[in-house]
């Protein structure tokens, strides 16, 4: 593993649940020697990507990421576009919506919205959703290139619930059915009681740029409700692709209100 790989692995340990991490814990989480972690921390601190809390000596992500985030957003204004589309789809369906982009080990949320009613699926925005278990991941796997798919299927597949598909052949069957259907469906694969549907969106590459997903309580995902969600999700994908590229890979579904 290169020094850059080790630095990336260190940075990936931070999350909403672990905003600050001490040296000893970082060594345990990454499996690296404390001396190696200390050198990485010094380098990242000098670059502004890591800062240290003087009171407890723990480390947290630094302001150096803000400048890069601004440059990325200026180059491809995906965050703003995804948030607008996510909000529209949430209001349209009255369900939890999240837009995700692929990372090294799963899909990371870049935009999300929760409807203003009681029985909804809550979302942890910093959580990475695994490729093999989540609707977002299955949608990405089903529509990416075979080269990308083979690489991602080599990743470890955690049995998150008793419903999670981890067998390679069974998962391939799921991906084939997903691509033929045009969208991914996951029921209880990541969390029992949660069902999701998801579709990919494309920007300028053979692989999807990300996915749009709608999460609902499993008991609420009837055939009729799923059909309605999918129609509105198709519209959302068109909206997002038009916002990012001026064109779309998805045809407009029939009998669906596209206003908004």
CA pair distance 2, 154, nearest whole angstrom: 20
To the question of domain 76-245 being in CATH 3.30.465.10, the answer is no
Cβ pair 60, 53 in contact under 8 A: yes
The CA distance from 153 to 211, in Å, is 18
Tell me where in the chain the CATH 1.10.10.10 domain(s) lie: 3-66
pLDDT in tens for each of the 260 residues of the chain?
Answer: 688 989 989 998 988 778 899 999 999 999 999 999 999 999 999 989 999 999 999 999 988 887 776 666 565 567 788 989 999 999 999 999 999 999 888 998 889 899 887 667 776 666 778 999 999 999 999 999 999 999 999 999 999 999 999 999 999 999 999 999 999 999 999 999 999 999 999 988 899 999 999 999 999 999 999 999 999 999 999 999 988 887 776 654 443 333 33
Which DSSP string do the residues of 198-233 spell out, in sequence order?
A: EEEE-SSSSS-SEEEEEEEEGGG--HHHHHHHHHHH
**pLDDT at site 152:** 95
Model pLDDT, residue 256: 37
| Phi and psi angles of residue 90, each rounded to the nearest 5 degrees, phi first | -65, -45
CA distance 203 to 191: 30
Instruction: Enter the CATH code of domain 3-66.
Output: 1.10.10.10
- CA separation for the pair 44, 3 (Å, rounded): 12
Per-residue burial over 121-130, b if 16 or more Cβ lie within 10 Å, else e, is bebeeebbbb
pLDDT of residue 18: 86
Q: What is the location of CATH 3.30.450.40 in the chain? A: 76-245
Which two three-digit tokens encode residue 75? 């180059």
CA distance 156 to 254: 40
Model pLDDT, residue 151 = 94
């Amino acid at each position: 593993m290169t020094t850059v790989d080790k630095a990336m692995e260190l940075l990936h340990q931070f999350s909403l649940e672990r905003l600050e991490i001490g040296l000893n814990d970082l060594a345990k989480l990454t499996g690296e020697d404390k001396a190696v972690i200390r050198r990485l921390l010094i380098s990242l601190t000098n670059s502004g990507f890591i800062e240290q809390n003087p009171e407890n000596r723990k480390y947290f992500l630094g302001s150096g990421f803000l400048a890069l985030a601004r440059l990325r957003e200026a180059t491809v204004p995906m965050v703003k576009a995804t948030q607008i589309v996510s909000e529209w789809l949430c209001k349209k369906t009255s369900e939890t919506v999240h837009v995700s982009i692929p990372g090294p080990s799963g899909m990371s949320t870049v935009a999300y919205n929760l409807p203003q009613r009681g029985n909804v699926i809550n979302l942890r925005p910093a959580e990475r959703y695994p490729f093999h278990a989540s609707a977002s991941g299955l949608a990405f796997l089903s529509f990416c290139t075979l080269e990308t798919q083979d690489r991602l299927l080599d990743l470890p597949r955690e049995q998150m619930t008793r419903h999670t598909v981890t067998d390679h052949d069974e998962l391939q069957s799921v991906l084939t059915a997903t691509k033929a259907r045009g969208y991914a469906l996951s029921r209880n694969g990541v969390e029992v009681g949660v069902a999701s549907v998801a579709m990919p969106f494309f920007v300028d590459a053979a692989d999807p740029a990300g996915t749009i997903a709608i999460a609902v309580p499993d008991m609420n995902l009837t055939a009729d409700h799923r059909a309605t969600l999918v129609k509105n999700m198709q519209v959302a994908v068109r909206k997002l692709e038009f916002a990012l590229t001026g064109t779309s890979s998805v045809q407009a579904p029939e009998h669906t209100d596209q206003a908004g």
